[in-house]
Structure 1
Amino acid sequence: MEQILVVEDDTVVRENLRDLLESEGFEVLSAENGDEGFKIAFEKLPDLILSDIRMPIVSGFDMLKKLQDNITTSDIPFIFLTAKVEHDEIRKGMTLGADDYLLKPYKRNDLLSAIDARLKKKRKIRENVELFKFSVVKRVQHELRTPLISILGLSELMLENIGSLTHEELSEIANKILDSGSRLLRRVEKLLVYVDLLLDESSPETRSKINENEYQVDQDFLAARLSETAAIFNRTDDLAVAFENKLLVITDLHFEFILKELLENSIKYSKQKSAINITGRSNGKYFITTVKDAGIGAKSIDAEKIGVFNQFGKEGETKEGLGLGLTIVKKIVELYGGYIKIESKENSHTIFEFGILISKEKI
């Protein structure tokens, strides 16, 4: 049974709401003010909160701010019920993280529809999180175990033969341990980035402020950073980079993550001494970045099929693996209102193109 917390200082209104919601099969909690409401929400973690705005001791706005500031309660769907509301108050509530407003006197069907919409959304988020957790348990065991077993096995080999190994043999083992440790770290870091993106997607406050992020594209800086990545794989001479300098609606962390991930993908699926070209230009609305390689390609790749733990094989079909990289790229681009396209031709090339909105101040 889903649980709804009603926060309302008017006893009659509060009890009427209780009767209505209980008749629809909900379990109802109630509070007389925002202070009491926050305490109950923190303790019981209801599935949804209905709250008045103007209340004694702690207002609905102040209670919502406390809920959003607490990681335990920040994802609880929140609907304001109020007799009168001004435009500025709506903006304030939405900025704080409210999901909806209903004006008193509200119709029964309008209230139930608003509740149903928010609860369905929460169920969907919960299902996605559970699916992700299941996928993590199923796939990560192998993907993280592989480099970890290598680290443990090589360390044991070195310890058992420490007295007989030459300097060159010790150096070789140490380098293999370092390589396995680096691969393990990269996979864990990708998992953490993905979890952060899931949290951003489910946070109304984060989504409402997404367009406030800005990143200044700098040709020289990006060329240097991408060259560092290419150097790890001895592909510096294969890389060509050309960017227009523009101000974008995205964070530096996210934009640079996309570029690095797509570059590593191109390196992985192309041969040494084959060209990798990365360009970025403006079309007025979007900053369009393309990453093109002369690699193995595939018959067809659909950007819509990019998903957790899927990697693209030679035939454009998915295969099992920790394919978080492209999933993260897609989620980042969508988070900022952009787009991503993929063109691939078998035994010829693959082109990743993504567009990020340009800051209106610099268009």
Structure 2
Amino acid sequence: MEKILVIEDEINIARNIKQILDLSDFYTITAEDGAEGVELAKEEIPDLILCDVMMPNLDGYQVLTELKKDSKTENIPFIFLTAKSDRPDFRKGMELGADDYLTKPFTPDELLTAVSTRLAKHQKMKKQAQEKMDELSSRIQKALPHELYTPLNGMMVSASLLNEYAESMSIEEIKDMAKTLLDSSQRLHQISEKFVLYTYLEFLTSNPEKLEQVRQKKYNCFTKTIIESIAKIEAQTFNRSSDLVLEIEEASINTSENDLHKIVKELVNNGFKFSLQGQQVKILSKVSDDNSYHLFVINEGKGMTAEQLDEIGSFRQFHQEFFSQEGCGLGLAIVKKLINIYQGSMRIESFIDNQTVVHIILPLGEK
């Protein structure tokens, strides 16, 4: 039985609402003012809240604001009950996060329709969120063991050899073992960071309210230095500085420096990873007339088929058998989600045995 909290200071109206809901097989609890309503909401965690706007102690807007501060109550569906004279303030309630409103006086059918519709929408959202979590869990279960066990095995074997034979080993052999331990631990650390980041982004992009809060922030991130420094570091990592081509136009974009760093690092790393020594990796950028920033990462490597492009997502890795590359295929999935957060876009064009072009568009920062 679904639980509904009614916060209404007019006793007769509250009694009538409770009677209608009880007869429709809802479990109804009531509060006579805003302060009591907030307390009951946190104690009872109802499935839906009906709340009057004009009340003593705390009005409806203050009630909603308080509930949004608490992680246990922030996502409870919330319907305002408003008198016709309050209707101009409807926009304020919706901006605070209300899901709907009912104008007094309303009929029993109007009340039940609003309640049933809102509960159904909330259940649908919960189901979709659970399905996404189930899918994510399934992908992790398939990808995580291999990605974790490979570096772990390297660490365990090296540690075991050092433990058993260190006294008879030369300094060079010990250094080699230590390097294996270091490389494996660094790889394990990077994999763990990617899984944590992807999981966070999955939660964020699945929560419209949290996503909107992030999007309300304004940034002025200057691109040239960040992109050039990351690209040069990645080129050095692959011992391919001579393959790197940079044509970067300075711009200020509405993206955090930290997230731009992640985006560029993943794309440039992929550019080198999926191309060979002597094949160029080009990073180009420009500001367009439509108030947006265009970034291109181009490599002359193996390329991808149309089917592979359609399947780009988390935990998928292409050409692994050809390039013998390590990785769980999370890079592009992370990039796509970060770009989506900043309301940008990503397009990939690829030609087999020729080149792959990743084209990113991000909004400019405020001038």
Q: 2:146 aligns with which of 130, 142, 149?
A: 142
Are 1:164 and 2:168 matched, yes or no? yes
Distance change (3 Å), C-alpha of 1:167 and 1:247: same
Which position in structure 2 is the counterpart of 1:245? 250
The whole-number CA distance in structure 2 between the counterparts of 1:137 and 1:38 is 40
Query: Residue 213 of structure 1: which of 202, 206, 218 is its match?
Result: 218
Deviations 1:232-286 (A, max 9, x none): 2223322222222222222222222111111111121111221111112122232
Q: Distance in 2 between matches of 1:69 and 1:86?
A: 25
Taking structure 2 as the reference length, what is the TM-score of the superposition? 0.84
1:299 touches 1:314 (CA, 8 Å); kept in 2?
A: no
Change (3 A) 1:158 1:244: same
Q: d(CA) in 2 for partners of 1:298 and 1:39?
A: 57
Structure 1 172/193 Cα, relative in aligned 2: closer, same or farther at 3 Å?
same
Contact in 2 for aligned 1:200/1:207 (Cα 8 Å): no
Count of residue correspondences: 356
Partner Cα separation in structure 1 for residue 139 and residue 105 of structure 2 = 46
> How many Å apart are 1:112 and its aligned residue?
3.2
Residue aligning to 2:188: 184
The residue identity in structure 1 corresponding to 2:255 is I
Residues 38 and 63, structure 1, Cα contact 8 Å, conserved in 2: yes
Correspondences of 1:1-363 after superposition (within 5 Å): 1-21=1-21, 26-83=26-83, 84-85=85-86, 90-91=91-92, 93-106=93-106, 107-108=110-111, 109-201=113-205, 202-283=207-288, 284-300=290-306, 305-313=311-319, 322-359=328-365, 361-362=366-367
- Using a 3 Å threshold, how does the CA distance of structure 1 residues 113 and 178 change in structure 2: closer, same or farther? same
Residue 163 of structure 1 aligns to a residue whose secondary structure is helix
Could you say if the C-alpha distance between residues 273 and 116 of structure 1 is closer, same or farther in structure 2, counting changes exceeding 3 Å? same
2: CA distance, partners of 1:212 / 1:305: 32
Q: Distance in 2 between matches of 1:152 and 1:3?
A: 53
Distance across 1 between alignment mates of 2:318 and 2:15? 56
Q: Closer, same or farther in 2 for the Cα pair 1:30/1:330, shift >3 Å? A: farther
AA aligned to 1:325 is G
Task: After superposing the two structures, state which structure 1 stretch, 108-117 or 234-243, moved more.
Answer: 108-117
Q: Which has the larger radius of gyration?
A: 2
**Cα deviation, residue 170, structure 1:** 1.2
| 1:294-332 deviation per Cα after TM superposition (whole angstroms, max 9, x unaligned) | 1111222566533232233489xxxx9732221111112
Secondary structure of the structure 1 residue equivalent to 2:132: helix
Using the alignment, how far apart are the partners of 2:226 and 2:171 within structure 1? 39
Report the Cα distance in structure 2 between the residues aligned to 1:290 and 1:4, rounded to whole angstroms.
Answer: 52
**Take 2:306 and 2:357, find their aligned partners in 1: how far apart are those partners?**
12
**SS in structure 2 at match of 1:271:** coil
Instruction: Write out per-residue CA displacement over residues 152-182 of structure 1, whole angstroms, 9 at most, x where no aligned residue.
Output: 2222221122211211111111111111111
Over 3 Å counting, the alpha-carbon distance change for 1:73 and 1:110 in structure 2 is closer
Range with greater deviation from structure 2 (258-267 or 320-329): 320-329
Query: Alpha-carbon deviation of 1:28?
Result: 4.1
Q: SS state of the match for residue 162, structure 1?
A: helix
What is the rounded CA distance, in whole Å, between the counterparts of 1:26 and 1:305 in structure 2? 45
Change (3 A) 1:250 1:170: same
Q: Is this contact kept in 1: 2:80–2:102, CA < 8 A? A: yes
